[in-house]
Structure 1
Amino acid sequence: MIPILILAAGQSSRMGTRDKMLEDVDGVPLLRRQVRMASAAGEPVYVALHQKADSRHDTIADLDVRILTVPQADEGMSGTMRGAVAQLPKAPAFMILLGDLVALETSDLKAVLDARATHPAHVIWRGTTQDGKPGHPIIFDASLRPDFADLSGDGGGESLVKQLHDRTHLVPLPGNRARLDLDTPEDWAAWRASKV
């Protein structure tokens, strides 16, 4: 069992009054799409949310997902990771992915999961763009779990990944799927226009 943790506790501050996790993607809210996509990888899915009783929660409440309430989300990405990883069950490793990566597919998650199985000497397995730019998802070996208790700032686990670059296995994924996130209404409009 490799728990899949979807980070969805951010405030979408660059979206104005809109919540990017509730933006429509293929007829469903983005967060719901992400949970379904991750669930299809065959591992248990956890979602980190800032507040349990908000519209994000309601969007996924009927799905097979465990919701983790993370008050530390006010501290940024590191606070969210610190609070959520502490709540994950014990497992040999865990996967983290950003909830707003609209192009990720189940096959991408499976590719990184497969890389962990075929390259066991590493402690981090990370998806990249087709041309090698680092992205998500990222699997962390359980031996790194205590390091998450010390994360601070909005950099998330990047400092840990940089520190262990020589023990990280990179997994190229198609196109820009490992990095494509949409942070502003203009980003969303451009992305939707490109799909027509």
Structure 2
Amino acid sequence: MQKKLTLIIGLISILLLAACGQDVPDDLDWEVEEFTYTDHTNNDFGLKDLEGDVWLANFIFTNCDTVCPPMTSNMSKIQDKLAEKDIDAEIVSFSVDPERDTPEQLETFSQKFDADLSNWHFLTGYDGDEIKEFAKNSFQTLALPDPNSDQFTHGTSFYLVNKEGTVVKKYEGVSNVKYEEIVDDVKALQ
């Protein structure tokens, strides 16, 4: 009897631990700092607007001649896949080049990738030092001007943020994007 009880408790414990891990594996637990920036419509948009939402974030700039176009195209595919499965999520793209990336420039850039701007927010309205610190503190990534060109060094990951404003996972954003995993993880956090 004692062995059966121990076995049952052990099985229940394993099931509970497995269920806890189903939410989103690789829990990063990085709290996103409070922010209010300017979106592509020239309106304020910030962390308070995302309260209670699951969202994806990335860092881009419109003058980028390497990774930003494929990243934005890949995020657009994710947006389409989420819509196909009727999964609500917000998307936030932070510009690392706020001097050149005006709201109008960001909107024009977004149109090249068929972004649905009802739930995708392209942000600017800060200075270079602010986005550098924000990227480092909230997403553990770089956002630095390249001293030898007009380009920027920045992270190429997509970040999954839960309803509490905590980064819980990151994914490759340029190539080998795990679209279905991202969609499943967003759904798991709903």
Instruction: Provide the TM-score with structure 1 as the length reference.
Output: 0.36
Normalising by structure 2, report the TM-score: 0.37
Greater length-normalized contact order (CA 8 Å, ≥ 6 residues apart): 2
Point out the structure with max Rg over C-alpha: 2
